Amino acid sequence: MPGHNHKNIYVVIPAFNEKEVIGCVAKQVAELGYSIIVVDDGSEQDVGEVLKDIPALTLVRHQVNLGQGAALQTGIDLALENDADYIVTFDADGQHMATHIPRMLEPLINDQADIALASRFLIKGSHNAPKKRQWLLQAGRLVNYIFTGLYLSDAHNGFRALNRKAASSIRLTENRMAHATEIIAQVKQNKLRYLEIASHVSYTSYSRKKGQSGLQGVKIFFDLVLQKLFK
Residue ranges that bind another protein, judged by CB under 8 A: 39, 58, 60-64, 66, 70, 73-74, 77-78, 81, 173, 175, 226, 230
Nearer to another protein, 215 or 229 (CB): 229
Q: How far is the CB of 77 from another protein (least distance, A)?
A: 6
Q: Smallest distance, Å, CB 192 to another protein?
A: 23
Beta carbon nearer to another protein, 32 or 78: 78
Return the number of the residue (66 or 101) whose C-beta is nearest another protein: 66
> What's 59-81 look like in SS3?
EEEECCCCCHHHHHHHHHHHHHH
What contacts 24+ positions apart, CB below 8 Å, involve 5-9?
6/32, 6/33, 6/34, 6/35, 7/33, 7/34, 7/35, 7/56, 8/35, 8/83, 8/84, 8/85, 8/86, 9/34, 9/35, 9/84, 9/85, 9/86, 9/87, 9/88, 9/105
Q: Identify which of residues 17 and 126 has a Cβ nearer to another protein in the complex.
A: 17
DSSP for 124-185, written as a single string: TTSB---HHHHHHHHHHHHHHHHHHS---S-SS---EEEEHHHHHH------STTHHHHHHH
State the minimum distance, in angstroms, from the CB of residue 56 to another protein. Answer: 14
Nearest approach, Cβ of 190 to another protein (angstroms)? 21
Residue 112 one-letter amino acid: Q
> CB 39 → another protein: shortest distance, Å?
8
- Cα(7)–Cα(185) distance, integer angstroms: 29
Which one, 96 or 179, has the nearer CB to another protein? 179
Counted residue by residue, the chain has a size of 231
Nearer to another protein, 77 or 85 (CB): 77
Contact assessment for residue 170 and residue 89, using Cβ atoms and an 8 Å cutoff? no
CB of 60 to another protein, least distance (A): 5
- Residue closer to another protein (CB basis): 89 or 119: 89
What is d(CA 13, CA 68) in angstroms, rounded to the nearest whole number? 10
In the complex, the smallest distance separating the C-beta of residue 128 from another protein, rounded to whole angstroms, is 35
